[in-house]
Amino acid sequence: MAPMKTAAVTTPATTTTTTTPVTTTALLQNVQSTLSKSLDTSLNVIGKQLQTLGVNLPQDQQEKLSMAVGLTGVGATLYILNKICSKIMRMLTLPKPSFAKKDYDVVIVGGGIGGCALGSALSKAGKNVLVLERDMSEPDRIIGELLQPGGVQHLKDLGLGHCLEGIDAARVFGYQVFYGDEQVNLPYPADSNSKVGEKVEGRSFHYGRFIMNLRRACEQDGAKILERTVVSLIEKTPGLIEGVQYKEGDATVEATGNIVVVCNGAGSSYTRQVRSDKVGSGNKPLVVSQFIGLELAASADKLPRPNHGNVFLLPDAPCLLYPNSTTTVRCLIDFPDGDANKLPKRGEEMAKYLLEYIMPHLPENLHESFKAEVDAGRIKVVQNREMPGETPESLTKKGVVLIGDAMNCRHPITGGGMTVTFSDCKELVKAIVQIKDLNCVSEVDEAIQSFYVNRSKVASTINILANALYSIFAPPSGSKSWEAYKSEGKKPDALSNNDSMSIMRRAVFGYFKKGGICQTGPLSLLSGIWHSPYGLIAHFFSVAVIGSVDLIKEGGILGIFGSIYKSLKMITGATTLIAPLIAEERLLSCIFPGFIWRRKPLPHHQK
Ligand SMILES: Cc1cc2nc3c(=O)[nH]c(=O)nc-3n(C[C@H](O)[C@H](O)[C@H](O)COP(=O)(O)OP(=O)(O)OC[C@H]3O[C@@H](n4cnc5c(N)ncnc54)[C@H](O)[C@@H]3O)c2cc1C
């Protein structure tokens, strides 16, 4: 970047010393008159073309239409020129690598979901890979437990399907959603490869058991895994990452690699080092809520719908219950505030929150095991973060690539994180195996950029769906209702709320109940087997439109004005919710430019 900056600074300085203000004005007038002449000519040409096409409009309207067409053309030309310029700039600013031979082709920071899957796949592709993991013992964390059918398929494509064996994983067939007294079953859609109409299936398990299988597979496939904590990235030439430093006892050791993959989970400090903060919520994830997690013993067959994700749309936020083995059930209660200080304090207050405020909404036959966990104090809390994915523009260093939660996280409500990570591993392997010379910085850089572009279809679909669904299922008031209950003992009634998201929540539930494509479409997107951000946007707006029609029908003639008002509120709310999410994913960037539609954190979101 340095040479570029110098050029940009010296050029205007030279101009001011050699040119007088008069000549500058004359020059500007010249440029302006040339531009307006060419604009007039272009508008005339466009006008004539329109006439040839049979568009005969009055003169003033013809001019306006020509102007609109002309400006679109100018916009498109500027867009293409901008793309070409940034490509050239990127080539010109490539740092020069040191020519010392590297220790490894690829060094991976973190032996979690992404690090192990990538390490295994690259080793099988003949690459010399080092994986550094700070703790090789079996993790006991409540992340990554429900793998969607799309994720199961990606795992199989990576040759790691066997890692789901021998871990007491439960089969998952879809969802059951509860809203007030109503419920709806949402089965996963049919498997397009099955001739007898079998449905696709997910798997759910303990993260720790699955990780241990992945680590074993990664090592058996040829990667070297060391239990070491990475302490920094090596950047001797500014802008180029050429390896990592890790701790070995008291000593600091270096491992160099042609490509360094940062994959050490959400909140990684290396994300901030290699990525600019200009996109969406920036290079630091936004903590939008927290999960309070319990594991209910011997309860898998007591779930209202066994082998399904059971989702309860509670007044403040959703609560999820799903089997995380063939016998146990994971219960995740979303606390809709990212601030750890707002969370009920462990002990009496937490027990009051769980037993008085939450438990009455859950099925009675689960109360005993739920209460047993609360009484024993076996409660875990995890932060739920959101961070938009990397784009070729936001990565500021060469030789390094981010994957997994270190690069992109979405709310875990849809259990999409592992599916995105496995899909990213597949794309990254494809990009890396195509590199002919791993020492060539420009070739590596091109491959990394193509990875960021190619990953986006799968990732954007899952990201937008998860973040939009969470916003709809958790009203924007955060934890205010709980605070009111704590001080005044007043329970909230979300069913009568009339803010735009509560209306949308009723519309989403109504949409699911219609069945047919209103179920198979959203479930294909959620299960990760249909990768279409545009399909998602179409379903999203269908919810708002069909929901509005239902509202108007319900309201009847007498309530028509109230229904129209609510419908407009819902459609406006839906648009202001989805637009920043689309912008963050860099979709339809000409309609939703990221710099305008940057997502504004709510007061209860923590950065
Ligand atoms: C509450 C919660 C629930 C979730 N539930 C689901 C779900 O049901 N389904 C789903 O698909 N996704 C779920 N996710 C998301 C999913 O867990 C992640 O997307 C996935 O684990 C990302 O994998 P990763 O490899 O990036 O990170 P991780 O799996 O977190 O692995 C990172 C690894 O890096 C290691 N590490 C960290 N720092 C260093 C260092 N300096 N040196 C060496 N090693 C280091 C860590 O020890 C860890 O092993 C959930 C997330 C959360 C927060």
Q: What is the pLDDT of residue 38?
A: 61
Ligand 1, residue 409: give the atom nearest the CA. 19
pLDDT in tens, 355-397: 999 999 999 999 999 999 999 999 999 999 999 888 777 788 9
Ligand 1 atom 4 nearest Cα: 143
**228 or 63: which carries more pLDDT confidence?**
228
Ligand 1 atom 50 nearest Cα: 143
For residue 289, the cross-strand partners are 384
**Which long-range contacts does 513-518 make (Cβ < 8 Å, 24+ apart)?**
513/182, 513/184, 514/546, 518/542, 518/546
Question: What three-state secondary structure class fits 565?
Answer: helix
- Least confident residue range of 81-85, 226-230, 415-419: 81-85
Residue 10 has pLDDT above 60, yes or no: no
Rounded distance between C-alpha atoms, residue 116 and residue 403, angstroms = 12
| Alpha carbon separation from 448 to 319, 420, 558, 606 (Å, rounded) | 38, 17, 60, 31
Question: What three-state secondary structure class fits 422?
Answer: helix
Whether 154 and 163 have beta carbons less than 8 Å apart is answered as no
469, amino acid identity: L
Element (H, E) at 330: strand 329-335
- Closest residue by Cα to residue 369 from 415, 307, 321: 321
Question: What three-state secondary structure class fits 220?
Answer: helix
Question: What three-state secondary structure class fits 150?
Answer: helix
Residue 54 has pLDDT above 80, yes or no: no
Ligand 1, residue 293: give the atom nearest the CA. 1
Per-domain residue ranges of the chain: 24-93, 98-169+210-285+387-415, 469-477+496-605
Q: Which of 247, 308, 418, 425 to mutate to test the pocket of ligand 1 (most atoms within 8 A of CB)?
A: 418
pLDDT class for 284, splitting at 50, 70, 90?
confident
Instruction: Name the average pLDDT for the chain.
Output: 87
Q: What are phi and psi of 105, to 5 degrees?
A: -70, -45
Rounded distance between C-alpha atoms, residue 164 and residue 277, angstroms = 37
Q: Torsion angle, CA of 136/137/141/146, rounded to 10 degrees?
A: 70
For ligand 1, the distance from its centroid to the CA atom of residue 339, given in whole angstroms, is 21
Whether 521 and 189 have beta carbons less than 8 Å apart is answered as no
Ligand 1, residue 384: give the atom nearest the CA. 53
Whether 298 and 369 have beta carbons less than 8 Å apart is answered as yes
Residue 16 has pLDDT above 50, yes or no: no
Q: What is the pLDDT of residue 22?
A: 44
Whether 390 and 402 have beta carbons less than 8 Å apart is answered as yes
Residue 478 token pair: 């955060």
For ligand 1, the distance from its centroid to the CA atom of residue 570, given in whole angstroms, is 35
Q: Taking the CA of residue 107 as centre, how many other CA atoms within 13 Å lie in the half-sphere pointing to its CB?
A: 26
pLDDT class for 586, splitting at 50, 70, 90?
confident
Does residue 292 have its Cβ closer than 6 Å to ligand 1?
no
Could you please state the CATH topology (level 3) that the domain comprising 98-169+210-285+387-415 is classified under: FAD/NAD(P)-binding domain (3.50.50)
Strand 251-262, strand 104-109: pairing: parallel
Residue 605 token pair: 């979101």
Does residue 418 have its Cβ closer than 6 Å to ligand 1?
yes
Whether 234 and 179 have beta carbons less than 8 Å apart is answered as no
For ligand 1, the distance from its centroid to the CA atom of residue 603, given in whole angstroms, is 26
Number of neighbouring beta carbons within 10 Å of residue 516 = 7
Q: Which of 131, 133, 142, 143 to mutate to test the pocket of ligand 1 (most atoms within 8 A of CB)?
A: 143
Does residue 405 have its Cβ closer than 6 Å to ligand 1?
yes
For ligand 1, the distance from its centroid to the CA atom of residue 331, given in whole angstroms, is 19
DSSP at 398: B
Residue 17 has pLDDT above 50, yes or no: no
Residue 581 has pLDDT above 60, yes or no: yes
- % of the chain with per-residue pLDDT over 90: 63
Rounded distance between C-alpha atoms, residue 403 and residue 117, angstroms = 11
429, amino acid identity: V
Residue 256 has pLDDT above 90, yes or no: yes
Does residue 144 have its Cβ closer than 6 Å to ligand 1?
yes
CA 229 to chain CA centroid, nearest Å: 27
Does residue 147 have its Cβ closer than 6 Å to ligand 1?
yes
- Closest residue by Cα to residue 357 from 417, 300, 315, 419: 315
Rounded distance between C-alpha atoms, residue 198 and residue 190, angstroms = 6
- Least confident residue range of 77-86, 95-104, 536-545: 77-86
Strand 318-323, strand 309-313: pairing: antiparallel
Q: What is the pLDDT of residue 454?
A: 95
Determine whether 437 is exposed, middle or buried from the number of CB atoms within 10 Å of its CB (0-12, 13-18, 19+). exposed
Residue 248 has pLDDT above 60, yes or no: yes
**475 or 355: which carries more pLDDT confidence?**
355
Ligand 1 atom 27 nearest Cα: 265
- Least confident residue range of 62-76, 115-129, 372-386, 517-531: 62-76
Does residue 415 have its Cβ closer than 6 Å to ligand 1?
yes
pLDDT in tens, 261-279: 999 999 899 998 898 776 5
Rounded distance between C-alpha atoms, residue 159 and residue 496, angstroms = 50
For ligand 1, the distance from its centroid to the CA atom of residue 196, given in whole angstroms, is 36
Q: What are phi and psi of 90, to 5 degrees?
A: -60, -40
For ligand 1, the distance from its centroid to the CA atom of residue 261, given in whole angstroms, is 15
Strand 202-204, strand 146-147: pairing: antiparallel
